[in-house]
Amino acid sequence: MEHPISSPTNPLAACPVAVRNGGQPLPGHVLQLDDSNPLPLDCGVDLAPVTLAYQTYGTLNADRSNAILICHALTGDQFPAEPHPITGKPGWWETIIGPGLPLDPNRFFLICVNVLGGCMGSTGPASTNATTGQPYGVSFPVITIGDMVRGAMRVVDSLGIDQLFSVIGGSMGGMQVLKAVAAYPDRVFSAVPIATAAHHTAQNIAFHEVGRQAIMADPEWCNGDYQLYDRQPSRGLAVARMTAHITYLSEPALHRKFGRNLQDRDKVNYGFDADFQVESYLRHQGSTFVDRFDANSYLYITRAMDYFDIAVEHGEGSLAKAFMGIKTRMCLVSFTSDWLFPTSESRAIVHALNAAGAPVSFVEIETDKGHDAFLLEEPEMFRTLQGFIDGAARARGLAQ
Amino acid sequence: MIEPAVEVRPDLQIVADWIAPGTRVLDIGCGYGGLLAHLVREKGVDGRGIELRRSKVNHCVAAGLSVIRGDANHDLSLYPTGSFDYVVLTQTLQAVEEPRTVLEELIRIGGHAIVSIPNFGHWRIRLSLLVNGRMPVTEMLDQPWYETKSIHFCTIRDFLDLVDVMGLTIEQSVVLTSSGKPSPAPATSSRANVWGEQAVFMLRRG
């Protein structure tokens, strides 16, 4: 497909995040890895230069033992506890981060890194390829969950932290937690993988493929080079988001929220407008998402999740073997109505950890909110996290 | 904080006394984690628990204990042989689907299996059945027959027969009377099977 190049020095290509942020730099910090210090990727590429954008809350204690790495999910970012710099919406995990909450910045030094391949300041497909001077687009190397964690650990290294007190995250964040435990068992004292799985199921991959195909079917995608042509595959990305959003909710939650209620009308209008509230809601979810997320990042990050299989990566196909000999204290959390990462997936990890002799706790929280419950007000989850973190802090010798 | 033991059941005190400090302990059906919390706090054991009831599991984890949701019928096969020093099953054997299989699993997983059982041969139960002609409902077995989780009742003597058939050795045993006090009668005596309301055993293979 031929597209006229509107501007080879398109500012969107130079610094897409800053453009989306009104020309302002993002809050937080960056770690730069130059050619002398490349990031080796699972695909075999040594990537350089690499920028990793991260945010921290709280203070690192004198013996550097109170650091917690917070891993974000597919469409999350490094701002879990402050207003989103672009949308102005509350941080995605303000429910559990804050004074008196399980992740208390008065007790812990909290680190959150924008994943490699992301679009909030870390190097990703929207970044400029130093060799060509143009955005990577789909020439960006395919990244994995392992690559994301390797990048995050570079940030941890740069902060002079040998062992993290804890690594915590939900969904794709939980995958990073599992990866961190399997790949760096001595550097992770405790770990909390929430609403996650040790690999993506065929169903998980299938939903992601629908999302990717929606993006790639949008003519504005331009074979991944939309930045060069000053275009945005907004419709494709919005459809991807709409599809994914359905998987984050449960049927009862959708029913409770919308039922078959009509949107600003008394009767159906025999057309294809958003007659139903649920349609209007999804359209809104899709259209606001494209303002803050890059379509190619969505392709790369969903791919990373699809490739993830910790049993293959660390245990020759055996999950128990992948975790053999691990001393990390672990607490898994699942939700009864989560059908994207159902309890059975967490249970399989728990069984493997038991077989490996690792200290593991596992709670299933009863809720009808579906997969997204890990981001929402779930008092029982908060109590569990508080108890687990307090217990681990005692074992680590951290003051209350 | 690890909360103080909520259970003060006399059989749990005996179990706690038997367990050596610094060992690995798996408590199956750990409830609100009273025994585990006590063992972790007082004896520095590496304690793990399995509990069926979600609310109890969550309570344990919130108290800082390593507890997972599971049950004795299905989840014991997941534990490697010899992965614990002690496996504890209190007041639960009568409620599992296959008590003998579960007992085999306890011995396999732990060097020592610690089991407490309600004694269906207790005089009050005998008398109740004799006089009323109905399945007894007591303080320990407090549900009517159609609701009770206890599906495999046994007396102390029945249990001893099973231990014998399985070729297990009784390392320790205590019989508790209805006041919760240890009975001076040995578990193997006829008196124990009449006066004991429950019994606690520590078993090993061979």
Domain ranges of chain A: 12-200+311-396, 206-301
pLDDT on residue A1:
42
Nearest Cα residue to B54 out of B70, B39, B40: B70
Nearest CA in chain B to A389: B64
Instruction: Residue A350: name the closest of B49, B23, B55, B104 by CA.
Output: B49
B108 contacts B81 by C-beta, under 8 angstroms: yes
CATH of A206-301, one of 1.10.357.10, 1.10.10.10, 1.10.1740.110, 3.40.630.30: 1.10.1740.110
Does the pLDDT at position A126 exceed 70?
yes
The DSSP output letter for B5 is: P
Does the distance separating the beta carbons of B80 and A357 come in below 8 Å?
yes
Cα B187 to chain centroid distance, Å, stands at: 15
Domain boundaries, chain B: 10-120+153-205
Interface contact flag, A383 B54, Cβ < 8 Å: no
Using a 10 angstrom Cβ sphere, with 0-12 exposed, 13-18 middle and 19 or more buried, the burial of residue A291 is: exposed
| Cα–Cα dist A267/B182, whole Å | 76
**pLDDT tens sequence across B21-58:** 999 999 999 999 999 999 999 999 999 999 998 889 98
Q: How far is B22 from chain A (nearest CA, A)?
A: 15
Question: 3-class DSSP state for residue A290?
Answer: helix
A113, pLDDT greater than 90: yes
Whether pLDDT at A118 is above 80: yes
- CA distance linking residue A295 with residue A234, whole number of Å: 8
Active-site residue (options: A306, A346, A371, A372): A371
Is the Cβ–Cβ distance between A334 and A342 less than 8 Å? yes
Number of residues that make up chain B: 206
- By Cβ distance, the residue of B54, B58, B78 closest to A354 is B78
Please name which of A272, A37, A44 lies closest in space to residue A157, comparing C-alpha atoms.
A37
Class of domain A12-200+311-396: alpha beta
Catalytic residue among A171, A250, A297, A334: A171
Cα–Cα distance measured from residue A5 to residue A13, given in angstroms and rounded to the nearest whole number:
13
E strands, A34-178, in order = 39-40, 46-47, 50-57, 67-71, 109-113, 128-129, 134-135, 164-170
Query: What b-and-e string marks burial along A201-239, b requiring 16 or more CB atoms within 10 Å of the CB?
Result: eeebbebbeebbebbbebebbbebbbbbbbbbbbbbbbb
**Using CB atoms within 10 A of its CB, is residue A129 exposed (0-12), middle (13-18) or buried (19+)?**
middle
Confidence (pLDDT) at A400: 67
Q: Which of B163, B147, B166 is nearest to B201 (CA)?
A: B163
Query: By the 8 A CB rule, do A339 and A371 touch?
Result: yes
The reported pLDDT for the residue numbered A2 is: 41
**Cross-chain Cβ contact A391/B79 below 8 Å:** no
Q: Is A171 a catalytic residue?
A: yes
Please indicate whether, in this complex, the C-beta atoms of A391 and B65 are within 8 angstroms of each other: yes
Confidence of residue A14 (pLDDT cuts 50, 70, 90): very low
Q: Is residue A3 pLDDT above 60, yes or no?
A: no
Say how many residues make up chain A.
400
Residue B55, min C-alpha distance to chain A (Å): 9
pTM: 0.89
Which amino acid, residue A200? H
Query: ipTM score here?
Result: 0.80
For residue B168, give the DSSP letter: E
Q: Report pLDDT digits (tens) over A282-334.
A: 999 999 999 999 999 999 999 999 999 999 999 999 999 999 989 999 999 99
Nearest to B180 by CA among B163, B193, B197: B197
Write the DSSP assignment of B66-122 as a string of letters: EEEE--TTTSGGGSPTT-EEEEEEES-GGGSS-HHHHHHHHHHHEEEEEEEEE-TT-
Q: Which residues of B8-39 are buried (b: 16+ CB within 10 A; e: fewer)?
A: ebbbbbbbbebbeeebbbbbbbbbbbbbbbbb
What is the DSSP secondary-structure string of B171-191? EEEEEE-TTSPBPSS-TTSHH
CB A97, CB A79: distance < 8 Å: no
Residue environment code for A241-265, b if the CB has 16+ CB neighbours within 10 A, otherwise e: bbbbbbbbbbeebbeeebeeebeee
The whole-chain average pLDDT of chain A stands at 93
- Is the pLDDT at A60 greater than 90, yes or no? yes
B48, B66 in Cβ contact below 8 A? yes
Residue-wise pLDDT tens digits, B72-129:
888 898 888 999 999 999 989 999 999 999 999 999 999 899 999 999 999 999 999 9
Q: Rounded to an integer, what distance in angstroms lies between the CA atom of residue A171 and that of residue A70?
A: 12
Read off the DSSP letter of residue A27.
S
A400: nearest CA partner in chain B = B1
Q: Which tokens sit at A79? A: 């701002």
Report percent pLDDT > 70 for chain A.
Answer: 95
From chain A, pick out residues whose CB is under 8 angstroms from the CB of B61: 331, 361-363, 384, 387-388
Which pLDDT value is given to residue A7?
36
pLDDT, position B74: 87
Cα distance between residue A306 and residue B26, in whole Å: 36
A233 token code pair = 């595959």
Measuring CA to CA, which residue among A211, A274, A273, A209 is closest to residue A242?
A: A211
Per-residue pLDDT at A235 exceeds 50:
yes
- Looking at the complex, report in whole angstroms how far the Cα of residue B56 sits from the nearest Cα belonging to chain A: 10
List of chain A residues whose C-beta atoms are within 8 Å of the C-beta of residue B57:
362-364
Residues B24 and B86: beta-carbon distance below 8 Å: yes
Angle of CA points A193, A198, A200, to nearest 5° = 115
> pLDDT category, B175, cuts 50, 70, 90?
very high
3-state secondary structure of A315: helix
Contact between A142 and A43 (Cβ < 8 Å): yes
Q: A312-348: string of b/e by CB count within 10 Å (b at 16+)?
A: ebbbeeebbebbbebebbbbbbbbbbbbbbbbebbbe
Q: Check whether the bond before A105 is cis (ω within 30° of 0).
A: no
CATH of domain B10-120+153-205: 3.40.50.150
- pLDDT at B154 exceeding the cut of 90: yes
Question: Distance, in angstroms, between A60 CA and closest chain B CA?
Answer: 23
